[in-house]
Structure 1
Amino acid sequence: MSNTVEFRRMQADDLDRVLALEQQAFSHPWTRKLYDDALTSYECWMMTVDNQHVGHGVISQVLDEAHLLNIAIAVEQQGQGLGLQLLEHLMQRSSERGCVECFLELRESNQSAYRLYERFGFNEIGRRRDYYPAPGGHEDALVMVCTLFADE
């Protein structure tokens, strides 16, 4: 049986589901206020498999640069390639909107995300010291960038 993966724009009435997934997936999840602001300022996307919410992502655009602000896959759905599909969708949207590069930050300890981004074509270009809150202090962020290619 094939699973139907779909993407749609996030709506305010999705936030309870989004926040529940964030609570499971992240040690420091985004707040409702951050999502309220994101819905009016950025592109926020829901990913569903067979009509079940399995992930979401948020991208911003500044001139011809995209910034991947958040990407999350439900813990029980991780390791199945869904993160890559969601990333591909977000990068395609950024390219369609005229972006030529995408930047992101991730926790230095998040090796599974690092491998996903590297696999997609992101390269590490820097580090932000003590960027993320962490148990007992702060954790560095790795800064990564990827060149986006317009569809020929």
Structure 2
Amino acid sequence: MQVRSASPQDFEAIMAIEQSAHFHPWPESVLRRYLEKPDCTFVIEDSRRILGYAVITLIAGEAELLMVAVDPACQGKGAGRTLMDYLHSFLTQKGAVQWFLDVRESNHKAISLYESMGFCQAGVRSGYYPTANGKEDALLYCLDLSDDS
């Protein structure tokens, strides 16, 4: 598996993963906008097949993971960890000092991954995520990258 910067040509594969991996997927226009920005969208692939993707921002030393998704058929095989490890190195090289993300409170696998990387819960966004039966809280996590540089 390898991680690389995404290009507009990756849009169809990314959108297919987005729609299959999330109850409330991002609109196509949002994904297209992030694909046009440099150092913002990354894909993980194996034998030229895109297994997952991530969208990040980095502003004034603060990074945010806006979206990460792995094809449901490929989950549990290390693609998410490989992608997150790559982003950790990338953000450290770019001078990020803090990395933030939100995660659904019910997404125990993602929470376990983030905590194993050193992320700590920093807050809660009540009713942040839509669900089939209403709303779900988002847990806000933070990782201090200043010790990594």
The TM-score normalised by the length of structure 2 is: 0.93
Q: Which runs of 4+ in 1 moved over 4 A?
A: none
Counterpart residue type for residue 29 of structure 1: P
1:12 aligns with 2:8: yes
Deviations 1:108-145 (A, max 9, x none): 11111111101111111100011111112111100000
TM-score, length basis structure 1: 0.91
Contact map agreement 2:40 2:55 (CA 8 A) in 1? yes
1:48 CA drift (Å) = 0.5
2:33 corresponds to which residue?
37
Q: Secondary structure at the match of 2:88?
A: helix
Give the gaps of 5 or more residues in structure 2: none
In structure 2, the residue matched to 1:117 is: 114
- How much identity, in percent, do the aligned residues show? 33
Alignment counterpart, residue 69 of structure 2, candidates 69, 72, 75: 72
The answer as to whether partners of 1:44 and 1:59 remain within 8 angstroms in 2 is yes
Q: Which residue of 2 aligns with 1:128?
A: 125
- Tell me if 1:27 matches 2:23: yes
Q: For each residue in 1:63-119, what CA deviation from the matched residue of structure 2 results, as whole angstroms up to 9, or x when unmatched? A: 011101111111111111211110011111111111011000011111111111011
Alpha-carbon separation, structure 1, partners of 2:120 and 2:144: 9
Task: Report the equivalent of 1:95.
Answer: 92
How many residue pairs match? The answer is 147
RMSD: 1.3
- Residues 98, 142 of structure 2: 8 Å contact kept: yes
- State the distance in 2 between where 1:127 and 1:134 align: 17
Consecutive unaligned residues in structure 1, runs of 5 or more = none
Alpha-carbon contact 2:101-2:140 (below 8 Å) kept: yes
- In the alignment, the residues of structure 1 paired with residue 35 and residue 11 of structure 2 have an alpha-carbon distance, to the nearest angstrom, of 10
Aligned partner of 1:139 among 136, 139, 148: 136
Q: Deviations over 1:32-52 (max 9, x none)?
A: 111122123461001101221
Corresponding residue to 2:79 among 82, 96, 103: 82
CA contact (8 A) 1:96 1:150 kept: no
Please say if 1:104 is aligned against 2:101.
yes
